Amino acid sequence: MKVLVVGGAGYVGSHAVRALEAAGHEAWVFDNLFQGHRAAVPKGKLIQGDLLQPSDLTSALERTGAEAVMHFAALSLVGESVTDPARYYENNVVGTLHLLEAMRAKGVWRLVFSSTAATYGEPETSPISEDAPQLPINPYGRTKLAIEHALQSYSTAYGFGCAALRYFNAAGAHASGEIGEDHSPETHLIPIVLQVALGQREHITIFGDDYPTPDGTCIRDYIHVDDLADAHVRALEQLQPHAMLQLNLGTGHGFSVRQVIDACRQVTGHPLPEVVGPKRAGDPPELVANSARAQSLLDWQPEFTTARAVVESAWRWHQAHPHGFDDRSP
């Protein structure tokens, strides 16, 4: 299938491009390169454009003859979404509506969308299944939930076949070593801990150690980015008109912040000094996926199920690219 990957120069999107190509699909990347990296896109496959410019989208769909879209482009910093919600609603919600309209105009009905565990807010049960109430507690999560609702409506009214894939904590890097995580600023736990191992930071600050968890630090479900990418391709291949899939993507295993730091110590051999700081606003104590639905509907199994395996993969990338995509070896 010809697939337009919107946000395909970003972290998860660039891994999905590799997975699409490995599965025999033809992937084209649409990205404004605000957060994405040109170097993450295979040569000749980048169409530079903006979701907020409807004509950019229409011409990209025309030029590629896309039969399907994967949509990764979003602003995704929880804290920033609280202080600047207007940007989040405009970029995430308005931008996605432009995409849906461009697809409708061109008769493209297949869409795989990056949703998030943040749509569940602070769930009362763990692991979280798709039936848990979606009560996001910040504008980022609310924008993603608003889009899920729009997809449901477009599916019913216009025949779109959609998959909203709710990721837990994406982590790790591509097996090739060519692409990996490179955010600016970096806010995610594993890359920050590995920056300490690389000598780029003095210590890791643990955001709170009095949560109601066994070691007092937050528990998350770290899902490898290649496992995520694989699930996207499987979801794409199963889309049916007038139907919407809503699936959690996680491993079902939760690791605390301290367990992740310990895994980083084992993998890097660095002592990784830690300091306990205040809690970060809006961090739920525990987010672990029940991914049984994705496993059965997509015939999908995450390959990386230990903190150590995920960290080893991330470490290979960060060691080879200590400054991310700016540090390309010749």
Q: Which of 5, 102, 128, 206 touches ligand UFG by CB under 6 A? A: 206
The CA radius of gyration of the chain, in Å to the nearest whole number, is 19
Quick one: three-class SS letters along 89-153? HHHHHHHHHHHHHHHHHHCCCEEEEEEEHHHHCCCCCCCECCCCCCCCCCHHHHHHHHHHHHHHH
Using rule CB under 6 A, residue 17 touches ligand UFG: no
Would residue 140 show up in a list of annotated catalytic residues for this protein? yes
Residue with the shortest CB distance to ligand UFG: 218
Residue closer to ligand UFG (CB basis): 287 or 294: 287
Looking at the Cβ atoms of 193 and 235, the one nearer to ligand UFG is: 193
* Residue 289 contacts ligand UFG per CB under 6 A: no
Q: Which residues, 6 or more positions from 276, have their beta carbon under 8 angstroms from its beta carbon?
A: 205, 206, 208, 209
In a 3-state reduction of DSSP, which class is residue 220? strand
The first and second tokens of residue 281, run together, are 């606003």
Q: Does 165 bind ligand UFG (CB under 6 A)?
A: no
CA 200 to chain CA centroid, Å, is 25
Distance CA 154, CA 61 (A): 18
Shortest distance (Å) from residue 153 CB to ligand UFG: 24
Which range binds ligand UFG by CB under 6 A, 15-23, 111-119, 262-270, 313-321? 111-119
Binding part of the chain for ligand UFG, among 18-26, 227-235, 280-288, 292-300 by CB under 6 A, reads: 280-288
**Which positions from 123 to 162 touch ligand UFG by CB under 6 A, shown as an x/- string?**
-----------------x----------------------
Catalytic pick among 140, 154, 211, 222: 140
Q: Is 35 in the site for ligand UFG (CB under 6 A)?
A: no
Measured distance CA(330)–CA(317) in Å, rounded: 16
CA distances from 241 to 115, 122, 244 (A): 20, 33, 8
Coil, strand or helix at 254: coil
- Rank residues 155 and 251 by Cβ distance to ligand UFG and give the closer one: 251
117 near ligand UFG, judged by CB under 6 A: yes
* Inter-residue contact 211 to 217 (CB < 8 Å): yes
Query: Does the protein bind ligand UFG through residue 203 (CB under 6 A)?
Result: no
CB of 256 to ligand UFG, least distance (A): 8
Alpha-helical runs (H) found in 159-256: 189-197, 225-238
| Site for ligand UFG, residues 310 to 329, rule: CB under 6 A | none
Secondary element (H or E) of residue 4: strand 2-6
Q: Quick one: DSSP state of residue 279?
A: P
Q: How far is the CB of 280 from ligand UFG (least distance, A)?
A: 5
| Member of 25, 220, 253, 321 binding ligand UFG (CB under 6 A) | 220
Beta carbons of 38 and 103 less than 8 angstroms apart = no
Contact window for ligand UFG (CB under 6 A) among 2-10, 17-25, 64-72, 113-121: 113-121
Residue 118 touches ligand UFG, criterion: CB under 6 A: yes
Task: Please report, as ranges, the residues that interact with ligand UFG according to CB under 6 A.
Answer: 76, 78, 116-118, 140, 169, 187-189, 192, 205-207, 218, 220, 257, 280, 283, 287
Residues identified as active-site: 140
